[in-house]
Amino acid sequence: MSEPVRIQEADFSQDEEIKALKASSKRMGGIATFLGCARDFSEGREVSEISFDAYGPMALAEMNRLRSEAIAKFILMDARIVHRIGTVQGGDNIVFIAAGAEHRAPALEACRWMIDELKQRVPIWKKEITPQGESWVTPHP
């Protein structure tokens, strides 16, 4: 079974991630997921590709800390975080987060908390490639 926290170039399967999450406990009554996708339009420009840079070892360590903190903070049964790097096209998957808890409320709250924290804490950067040139993305709140 794949690691619950990963950084990878390849696409991921939401079904496989949820299957792996469910396999960790049969007490799980609620699973919340977040899927971040590449947009082909941003700041009034067409975006042909998005490329990612990451401080790999630190990013992975921080994502693992995030998962552990979320499990403790929201009393989750399990959680998974997968982030792609390399180059993706409009519509492609970028990041997947899943939180499984006994009930829906902590699963939903944990999922929102993890993606918000990831954006602030994990050293990954995205660059939009447009017909007019390339530009690093300014963080969104």
Q: How far is the CB of 50 from other proteins (least distance, A)?
A: 10
Q: How far is the CB of 93 from other proteins (least distance, A)?
A: 12
Binding residues (CB under 8 A) for other proteins: these are 36, 52-55, 57-59, 61, 83, 94-95, 115, 118-127, 136-140
| Backbone phi and psi for residue 81, each to the nearest 5 degrees, phi listed first | -140, 125
Q: Please count the CA atoms within 13 angstroms of the CA of 138 that sit on its side-chain side.
A: 3
In terms of CB distance, is 1 or 132 closer to other proteins?
A: 132
In terms of CB distance, is 103 or 121 closer to other proteins?
A: 121
DSSP 37: E
Q: Which residues contact 37 (CB under 8 A, 6 or more apart)?
A: 91, 92, 93, 94
In terms of CB distance, is 78 or 128 closer to other proteins?
A: 128
H or E element, residue 93: strand 93-101
Q: How far is the CB of 34 from other proteins (least distance, A)?
A: 9
